């Protein structure tokens, strides 16, 4: 019993420390939020451009096939052209050898590195995570991604950073191995959208949310139809119950 009380006491002492480590993320308004939310295809295309020109040099998107880009509003020819711009490892051929070929719509986005060791060697020993499920794997989802990409600042006085580490306000521990990947003017938008860090981070966060949940909108629409159906059937059953009850009383 004394051991139990001692454990509870120690656990209580630990609570404030954990609470102090919790990082509050800025909350943003997203078009896909809420039961009636929808993805903005223009924003998704801009976010894909940011991923393709900046993030894809280190981060894979292995769960997304090129044909999935149809959800972003790209037509068949555009998808074929995007896929063909990538080299896909395939084989073996009739000689038993592996070879590379242009991508096809049915292919998934290739990893930028041949293996994990190569990825770590190119990034000071840190392994760049796959981004397919990033917004589902991190608390805060799109808010987390946007905050992280905008959270780079100078380290406070006395805060130690090892070689190859950078200070980020929203990274647990505030140490991150990835240098700030985006700056104002880094990506050339063609649709007139602002070429700012704020716009880039919003767009790529929305794109990664779609990548993690490409069927989010269909799921919401199905859920809404189910709720309307349940509500209608409930009303019908209630009215039928009142009608039967009235007849029984009048009998």
What pLDDT is recorded for position 216? Answer: 75
Residue whose structure tokens are 């521990």: 173
- Name beta bridge partners: 89: 100
- Let me know the angle formed at the C-alpha of 179 by 173 and 185, rounded to the nearest 5 degrees: 130
Residues in the chain: 251
What pLDDT is recorded for position 251? Answer: 59
What pLDDT is recorded for position 69? Answer: 97
Rounded Cα distance, 23 and 172, in Å: 7
Rounded Cα distance, 246 and 225, in Å: 32
Q: Are 207 and 135 in contact (CB under 8 A)?
A: no
Residue-wise pLDDT for 117-169, tens only, equals 999 999 989 999 999 999 999 999 999 999 999 999 999 999 999 998 999 99
Q: Is 102 helix (H, G, I), strand (E, B) or coil?
A: strand
E strand residue ranges, the chain: 87-90, 99-102, 166-167, 175-176
- Going residue by residue through the chain (251 aa), what tens digit of pLDDT does each one get? 554 444 443 444 444 444 445 789 999 999 999 888 999 999 999 999 999 999 999 999 999 999 999 999 999 999 999 999 999 999 888 888 889 999 999 999 999 999 999 999 999 899 999 999 999 999 999 999 999 999 999 999 999 999 989 999 999 999 999 999 999 999 999 999 999 999 999 999 999 999 999 887 777 778 777 888 898 889 888 888 888 877 777 65
- Let me know the angle formed at the C-alpha of 41 by 37 and 44, rounded to the nearest 5 degrees: 95
Q: Are 206 and 142 in contact (CB under 8 A)?
A: yes
Cα 16 to chain centroid distance, Å, stands at: 30
Helix (H) or strand (E) holding 249: helix 216-250
Q: Is 49 helix (H, G, I), strand (E, B) or coil?
A: helix
Q: Within a 10 A sphere around the Cβ of 90, how many other Cβ atoms?
A: 13
């Amino acid at each position: 019993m004394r051991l139990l009380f001692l454990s509870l006491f120690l656990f209580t002492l630990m609570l404030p420390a954990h609470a102090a480590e919790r990082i509050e993320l800025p909350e943003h308004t997203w078009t896909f939020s809420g039961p009636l939310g929808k993805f903005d295809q223009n924003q998704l295309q801009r976010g894909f451009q940011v991923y393709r020109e900046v993030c894809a040099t280190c981060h894979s998107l292995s769960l997304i096939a090129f044909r999935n880009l149809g959800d972003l509003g790209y037509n068949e020819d555009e998808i074929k052209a995007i896929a063909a711009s990538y080299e896909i490892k395939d084989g073996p051929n009739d000689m038993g050898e592996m070879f590379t070929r242009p991508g096809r719509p049915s292919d998934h986005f290739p990893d930028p590195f041949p293996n994990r060791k190569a990825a770590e060697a190119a990034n000071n020993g840190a392994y760049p995570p796959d981004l397919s499920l990033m917004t589902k794997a991190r608390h805060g989802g799109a808010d987390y991604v946007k905050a992280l990409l905008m959270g780079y600042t100078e380290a406070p006085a006395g805060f130690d950073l090892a070689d190859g580490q950078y200070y980020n306000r929203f990274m647990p521990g505030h140490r991150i191995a990835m240098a700030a990947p985006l700056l104002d003017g880094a990506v050339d938008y063609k649709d007139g959208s602002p070429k700012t860090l704020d716009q880039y981070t919003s767009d790529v966060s929305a794109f990664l949310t779609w990548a993690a949940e490409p069927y989010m909108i269909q799921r919401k629409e199905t859920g809404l139809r189910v709720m309307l159906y349940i509500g209608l059937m409930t009303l019908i059953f209630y009215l039928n119950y009142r009608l039967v009850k009235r007849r029984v009383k009048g009998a």
